[in-house]
Amino acid sequence: MSSRPSINALQCLVEQLKLEASVERIKISQAAAELQQYCMQNACKDALPVGVPAGSNPFREPRSCTLL
């Protein structure tokens, strides 16, 4: 057996590299600005900074029912 890659494996590698090279790229500063804008627009819907209303919180402690 040879340790060299087969022709099919090399063709797959070339196709993958072509695909990766054709991906449109943007600058980090642009991506960061877009991410910041998205976060600011959706902050009112985010449960972490706003909090979850007590009535719709699925993780709240279950209440026990006591009958006297």
User: Per-residue pLDDT tens for 1-54?
Assistant: 567 889 999 999 999 999 999 999 999 999 999 999 999 998 888 877 777 777
> Where is pLDDT greater, at 62 or 10?
10
- Burial (CB count <10 Å: 0-12, 13-18, 19+), residue 16: exposed
End-to-end CA distance of the chain: 82
* pLDDT band (50, 70, 90) for residue 61: confident
- Hey, where are the domains in the chain? 13-48
Whole-angstrom distance, CA of residue 56 vs CA of residue 68: 28
